[in-house]
Amino acid sequence: MSSLPSKTVASKQLETFANPSVERDYHIHMEIPEFTCLCPKTGQPDFATLILDYIADTTCVELKSLKMYIWSFRNEGHFHEDVTNRILDDLVTAIQPRFMRLTAKFYVRGGIFTNVVTEHRKPGWQAQPLVDLMQFETQSNTRG
C-alpha cells in the first residue's frame, strides 16, 4: 500500500518574513499565471495572470502562503474589479508595503479581455527617480 502525500489546503492566511534590506527601496516582481475564480453571474471559471509589484517596508510576503491564498479564490464568485482590489487590500494589510501594484490580466470572455490595475502607496513615501541604463544605443561608442 502506497501512502499519498498530505493534501495542501487553500488558505486566506498570508504569512510574512522580515525584509532583509529594509534600508533600501527595491522592486519585488511576481507573476502568478494560474489565478482562477468564478464568474458571480454564470458560475463559470475566470482565469487570469496576476502581476504583483511591490516595494517592501519592514516585511515581505512568504511565497507558499501567497500561493495558498491565491488558490483560495478558485471556488468563489467575484467580479474582476472586486477580486483584484480585495487581493491588493489583503496584501497591503499583511505586509504594509511602501508601494504595491497588482495587475490582473483576465483571459477572454465573450470576446473581451479585461485588465484591472490597482495601487497602494504608503503615505509620505516617494519613489526614487528611475535610473535609465538603456539610454545609449548599441555600439554608441563607435564613430561613423
- For the question of residue 37 being annotated catalytic, the response is no
Cell numbers found for residue 86 = 480585495
- For the question of residue 25 being annotated catalytic, the response is no
Catalytic member of 25, 39, 57, 90: 39
Cell numbers found for residue 3 = 501512502
- Rounded Cα–Cα distance for residues 2 and 19 (Å): 41
DSSP lists the bridge partners of residue 115 as 105
Identity of the residue numbered 16: T
Under 8 Å between Cβ of 66 and 14: yes
Helix or strand holding residue 37 (H, E): strand 27-38
Catalytic member of 25, 37, 46, 132: 46
Under 8 Å between Cβ of 116 and 81: yes
**Active site residue ranges:** 39, 46
